[in-house]
Amino acid sequence: MRQVKTQHISNPETFKKQLLNWSQQFDEVVWLDSNDYTQKHTSYDAVLAVEAFTVFQTDYFDAFNQLKEYQTITNDWIFGYLSYDLKNDVERLSSSNHDELGFPDLFFFQPKKLFFLKGNVLETHYLNFVEDELDHDLKSIASSVIEKSEQENYSEEKDIKIKLRIHKDEYFNKLNEMLSHIHRGDIYEANFCQEFYAEDTTIIPLETYQKLNAISKPPFATYMRVYDKYLLSASPERYIKKEGLKITSQPIKGTAKRSKDKQEDEALIKQLSEDIKERSENIMIVDLVRNDLSKTATKGSVKVEELCKVYTFDQVHQMISTVTSQVNESTHPVDIIKTTFPMGSMTGAPKISAMKIIEELEETKRGLYSGAVGYFSPDDDFDFNVVIRSILYNETNKYLSYSVGGAITAKSEPLKEYEECLVKAKAMREVLEN
């Protein structure tokens, strides 16, 4: 049983920093932060899950059935991630590209300690509650600061040398190959990604995350630690959410850079909202999401609540659509994810053909990148983001990686697509190269 307590927090921003610093003592950490971004479908301002009571991890084989069993038996809050390569469980596909990060394909844990922050209200959910444990933790959180030695180590770190897995000329060749598939009619659209990486590299994950979050302030920011592996994410995108019997998916397709000049920035918003190529990219993925949701939806319940609306973030403008459906009470939450995974915004249309071509042309196994991080609640609700604009780090291997991609359609121009990738990579590069 979980002991639930609520209390008033006078300064939520300070408390969030202290809470995240305090979490560093644990091997299993999931931190989700909305950065107070105004959006219709938010549940909490921030969530922290730490210290595993039970753990479930596996490779892709039969992964969704095993997750279904774990989620059903646990019947509690579970937090974790789904890697892109779970596609191999859903379809007859494979992943044989280069992988130096080595994240398991799927990882979830049942946290002993949970913190939900909404406005000035903190709700704590402790499993196997011990008397005075929460009071002791709150005192530790209140006195939590970054250790000075870590600050000093950080300043002594050697320069991070970012390398490209696919160089510019090779990128153009691969894109032209992708375009030939489109012109042949094999696919209409595919999301093509490339990796930037650094070897023999040491970072302080928390500080790197804090810097990335400070310059991006996205609604689906994530700091995750799974033993020696870290995700530092400034994701602007929700993959899928279940609240009661309502399902909400919010694919992003369409990106424009920001300008410091207000008039120019407004012109960029207008340009993006009217761009035929960007709108067609978005609408193709909306159709795919509608099709995916219809597999578990009650008849006639799939609706497009918002089509091609431009939202503004600190780094970029994005075109977002919102697709919803209703499900029956008897529908298992894991089945809703299984029938929509991987998300359409990171694959293409038709989905299976796009995933096969992506595997042929990309050089790196995607792993957690373009997968999802989130949670299931005890009453079968869930919420997951899309792992993009993210730094992945294997502390043992000293290997660091971030990937970026874009939707390729018949109207794509290789140089423009390459430039869009650099815009998306800008925040990660700035953070790592100071």
| Structural domains in the chain plus CATH codes | 2-433 (3.60.120.10)
- Residue 318's pLDDT is 92
* Distance in Å from the first CA to the final CA of the chain: 46
Q: Torsion-angle region of residue 289: left (phi > 0), alpha (psi -120 to 50) or beta?
A: alpha
What interhelical angle do 414-433 and 205-216 show, nearest 10?
Answer: 130
Total length of the chain = 434
Hey, is 161 helix, strand or coil?
A: coil
Q: Which helix (H) or strand (E) holds 177?
A: helix 168-184
- Residue 156's pLDDT is 47
Q: Which helix (H) or strand (E) holds 264?
A: helix 262-274
Judge whether 181 and 357 are in contact, CB under 8 Å.
yes
Q: How far is CA 291 from the centre of its chain?
A: 22
Distance CA 26, CA 411 (A): 48
Supply φ then ψ for residue 285, to 5 degrees.
-75, -35
Judge whether 236 and 218 are in contact, CB under 8 Å.
yes
Distance CA 196, CA 209 (A): 17
Across the strands, what pairs with 257?
A: 316
The number of CA neighbours under 13 Å toward the Cβ of 224 is 30
Q: Which of 203, 192, 196, 241 is nearest to 219 (CA)?
A: 241
Looking at residue 113, its amino acid is K
Distance CA 245, CA 188 (A): 32
Supply φ then ψ for residue 348, to 5 degrees.
145, -170
Distance CA 61, CA 345 (A): 24
Radius of gyration of the chain (CA): 21
Distance CA 209, CA 258 (A): 22
Q: Is 253 a catalytic residue?
A: yes
Q: What is the DSSP string of 325-342?
A: EEB-TTS-HHHHHHTTPS
Q: Which of 354, 388, 417 is nearest to 252 (CA)?
A: 388
Distance CA 310, CA 272 (A): 8
Q: Which of 310, 339, 306 is nearest to 41 (CA)?
A: 306
**Catalytic member of 113, 253, 338, 424:** 253
Q: Which of 125, 199, 164, 224 is nearest to 364 (CA)?
A: 164
pLDDT averaged over consecutive 10-residue blocks of the chain (434 residues)? Answer: 93 95 97 86 91 97 98 97 97 94 97 97 92 92 66 56 94 96 96 96 96 93 98 96 97 91 94 92 94 97 96 90 97 98 94 96 97 97 97 97 94 92 91 87
Place of tokens 């922050």: 117
Q: Is 154 exposed, middle or buried (0-12, 13-18, 19+ CB in 10 A)?
A: middle
**Catalytic member of 237, 278, 281, 362:** 237
Hey, is 249 helix, strand or coil?
A: strand
Judge whether 331 and 132 are in contact, CB under 8 Å.
no
- Residue 158's pLDDT is 62
Judge whether 157 and 400 are in contact, CB under 8 Å.
no
Q: Which of 382, 427, 380, 376 is nearest to 404 (CA)?
A: 427
Structure tokens, 190: 């595919």
CA angle 64, 355, 403 (to 5 degrees): 90
Q: Is 237 a catalytic residue?
A: yes
